[in-house]
Structure 1
Amino acid sequence: MTFQHDSILWESYYIDSCKDQWVLQNLYQAAYYKIKTTYISEKNTFKMPRRRLSSDGLKLFNMAIRPPPSRIQELLYCLFHSPYDDQLEEMTKGCEKASRQLYAFHTDPIKKEMITKYVDNSVFNVVYAVLSKDGEFTTKFNIKRNYRYFIDVMKNAFHNGDHNTAILLRQALNHHALKQLKLPLRKRDKILFQDMEKQYGSWRDSFTRHFKQVMNTTDFEIIPSMLVMQMHMQRFKRYSTIGRCKFEYAPGFIEGVIGMYGTHNITSVYDDAIPLYEEPPITSSSELILIAQGAK
């Protein structure tokens, strides 16, 4: 009898629950679907993989992670964009701004002497950002996500003609601290690296293809790699001290081309200083390699 009584109570509770659901669904549809949507989203929270942003990478360009969007914005993001895509686009613009500022520094007598140092700082800062999360060294899983994020930034820069950012990031992502981790590349990443080598050349040949392209054409729609231009200018300066040594481009001519791009972007010298060029927390490749080896 007790079991039967309990069954009757349960049946009564079930009927009341069904009535409540019917009332919600038919009379208060907005409330019903809001509850239903909330339940589904909470239920699947840990089943839906989401691309993440590199928080330390954002800090290099004075950027912050945006607050979560409203429900309407979230719906539009799902249909057309994602927060990752929008933040990626903003990061790409930040990188371009940094590239223009680097050339603008060439017009400043004091900052001009620091350009090589700024380039070195930017490479170390990116490597450090890949290895970090919220200012602390992170796991291999998060390193992989940061690594792929910067590849996506590099891809945008490459297609937008910001060759300074593209080659800078390629050098940073090719640092031994990251290479030793043997992070898996996506198919599109491999294609991107191949396309970049076809257009630029590689570190082995000092990116000669990119250098000659810049020296033989004047296209202010692109931003040449300062790293490559400085590399070749210093090399030809050394050659010029050797008697009877022929070289294709005089060091003064190379510096003149850099100066033209600097003048074209001169207004960027007045922009806020970008942390990308500041002294990195770690300036030793050996130390970065050891830190990466400790990632679990």
Structure 2
Amino acid sequence: MELFFNLIITGLVVGSIYALLALGFTLIYKATGVVNFAQGELLLIGAYICLYLTTSFKIPFIPSFVLTFVFMFFFGFLIEKVFLRKMIGEPIISIIMLTIGLSSVLKSIVQIFWGTDTRVFPQIFSTKPISLFGIKVSQVYIFSVISVIISLGIFSVFFKKSKAGVAMRAVASDQQAALSMGIEIKKVFALAWAIAAVVSAIGGVFVGNINGVNTNLAQFGLKVFPAVILGGLDSITGAIVGGLVIGVLENLVGGYIDPIIGGGAKEVFPFIFMIIVLMIKPYGLFGTVEVEKV
């Protein structure tokens, strides 16, 4: 049972990060109708920026964390302004291909500046584990989950209470109606990309603290895709639930099935589970069902 609970706790940690990244996917899709395949690279850049500030400029972790948010916010704005805004009105497939190309470009830029070697953050969290229900849990895991919960709470309040958040929800609901009400669609698109870049950076920093920082972190963008589809591409609640479910299932499969078959199941199972769910609920668990009348 100790192994089971350890796998569950670790799965919740990874799942909470998946949920945060899935939120970034969902924000962009709800606002623009585009699936962003460069989400993993935004995570990668956020992790490297925080690491660079911490190690090269000797800035304490918390200020580096905040500066990373600021940088990624404006970086997201820049990406939308330079690349995506020019594609407004173009076929969706063209925009999706642009994000795929953008992911390759961003990853190449990271390799040029920082190489491919794994780098580690200086010791930020105590190595002494915390006992949680009798299970010893690393402090970085605890802080990761707490930070993700706080972040999700802040964004939830932002979407429900702030003027900008309400505007984003209006655009997601009906772009034409939002435009007729005086909402500036282009600014909403830019804000969606900026927030997606920030949530990716949060995930990247904590994954980097757990696993080290290298270009393989970009794979989290693909690994989180089953969570996005499972929850429903246009559902924020679905993004959170899907991330947690996939994180836990992935960890359980890795702990129990991989040792039996020699590995590989952990990476494949989330996609198998996603396919099974989509066969039953094509729009995901919480996605909006679209009905077309002929």
TM-score in terms of structure 2 length: 0.31
Higher RCO, 1 vs 2 (CA within 8 Å, ≥6 residues apart):
2
* Structure number, greater radius of gyration: 1
TM-score in terms of structure 1 length: 0.30
